[in-house]
Amino acid sequence: MAARRPSYRWAVVAALGVVLGVSVGISFYGVSVYLEALTRGPGAFSLATVSAGTSAFLLVSGVAGLGVAALLERVDVRWVLAGGALLAAGALLALGSVATPAGLVLAYAALGVGFAATGTIPASTLITRWFPERPAVAMSLAFTGLPVGGAVLTPAIAALVRSLGVAGAAPWLAGAYVVGIVPVAVAVLRSPPGTAAGAADDGGEGVRAALRTPWFWLATTGLMLGMLGQVGALSHLFNAVTERLDAVAAAAAVSTMALASLAGRVLGSALLGRVRLTAAAALLLGLQCAATLGIAAAPSLAAVVVSTVAFGLTVGNMQVLHPLLVAERFGARHYGRILALSNLGVSCGMAFGPLLVGAVRTGTGAYLWAMAAAAAAAGFGGLLVLLLLRVTRRAPAPVLDAVRT
């Protein structure tokens, strides 16, 4: 493998793109499909119960990321991914047969653990090992699997669930999770030669040292607020546009957002390695704020399309900026653990975003104010990220200099 390392590591990037597409498509994006199906028909759960399950999925995935990061320092990444895929498959099977609210929340929580073990933490950790000097381009390309998985798998999952119901679709989804991840992980994914179960010693700061930096808390809080606004707006996008215009405009908004997200991810793969990441994150959060307000107040279909294009461009890049910022600032040695701690805070924002937007909509009776709350969260998050430009001190040179070139 050492002799073919220059080409082999790009095979790792491609394989991680497949893993992320399957993982995110069936779990993260699939959650919204399961929500709708589980709240209708015989034996349906209440919307509050399924929403609690969705929040449990996001919160547990954030907490489980801490364990996944620790495990990656001791266990081959292939077995972490394979075990996570099997656990997620079991959770999907349980989701198809649960009969009580408690069982539903537990199934969603187990799915969150499986998602954490097959998602961005193992993927970005492995990339920083293979690309200690140029993580930006590789991570951007691998993370293209996120919007592709959502765009390709979500319609297929929706059609399957409509045809068979959650109970009938669950075995197929569980099988797809295993078949789509385990063979790829076992056959292709491994750490580079000379890297044991732990990450390479490149002078990265320790976890406790990272937690003592203002940078860590500003970045985590800013990105948490940004993802709170993003996921909150996304989860209510269809309903918000329907309320202001109609269902046709809402469908156009969702489709436009998905396409723009994919386009933004492709564009980001070319640009993120050439710009200052902190400034890019602040700019994207500002654009997200403006686009969310545009969606809330759009007077016509054309205005909706323009706003959702801008919003989609931010969705396509905010997911990859978080791990890149952590890699740039702290290096690779303790990268997984530091990212997992920061990701826990960001996951809390993602979990409470839909609740915030829903609560404001209920309280005010209009999505205008609810989406404005999501926009305000993104705007404030952008201001906090801007402060990073003042507190950032020089990161490990090989990582920082290569990201900027």
Q: What is the 3-state secondary structure (H, E, C) of 371-393?
A: HHHHHHHHHHHHHHHHHHHHHCC
A 10 A CB-CB count for 394 gives: 8
Dump pLDDT digits (tens) for 102-136: 999 999 999 999 999 999 899 999 998 888 777 77
Kindly compute the dihedral angle of the four CA atoms of residues 325, 327, 330, 332, in this order, to the nearest 10 degrees. 170
Q: Which of 139, 145, 16 is nearest to 403 (CA)?
A: 139
d(CA 237, CA 298): 12
Each residue of 313-340: pLDDT tens digit? 898 788 788 888 888 888 777 888 898 8
Residue with tokens 């996921």: 231
What CA–CA distance (Å, rounded) separates 260 from 373?
Answer: 23
Model's pTM, two decimal places? 0.80
pLDDT value for 198: 45
Amino acid 344 reads L
**Band of residue 2 on the pLDDT scale cut at 50, 70, 90:** very low
Query: Which has the minimum average pLDDT: 46-50, 164-168, 185-189?
Result: 46-50
Tokens of 200: 């390479």
pLDDT for the residue 201: 47
Kindly state the average pLDDT of the residues 16-26: 92
Question: Terminus-to-terminus CA distance in the chain, angstroms?
Answer: 28
For the beta carbon of residue 258, count every other beta carbon within 10 angstroms.
Answer: 20
List, in sequence order, every beta strand (DSSP E) within 70-218: none
Torsional class of 100: left (φ above 0), alpha (ψ -120 to 50), beta (otherwise): beta
The pair phi, psi for residue 157, each rounded to 5°, is -65, -45
CB 243 within 8 A of CB 124: no
What pLDDT shows up at residue 5? 59
At residue 201, the 3 state secondary structure works out as coil
Hey, what domains does the chain have and what are their CATH numbers? 10-188 (1.20.1250.20), 207-404 (1.20.1250.20)
Q: What share of the chain is helix, strand, coil (3-state, %, to 5)?
A: 85, 0, 15
Angle at 308 between CA 124 and CA 378, to 5 degrees: 60
Nearby residues of 4 by Cβ (< 8 Å), 6 or more positions away: none
> Does 230 have pLDDT greater than 60?
yes
Please report how the helices 101-118 and 5-23 are oriented relative to each other, as an axis angle in degrees rounded to 10: 170
* Angstrom distance (rounded) from CA 195 to CA 255: 42
Least confident of 35-39, 116-120, 362-366: 35-39
**Which of these ranges, 151-160, 262-271, 305-314, has the smallest mean pLDDT?**
262-271
Q: Which pair of structure tokens corresponds to residue 378?
A: 């993104």
pLDDT over 70, % of the chain: 92
Q: Is the pLDDT of residue 6 over 90?
A: no
**pLDDT of res. 135:** 79
Q: Rounded distance, CA 316 to CA 140, Å?
A: 10
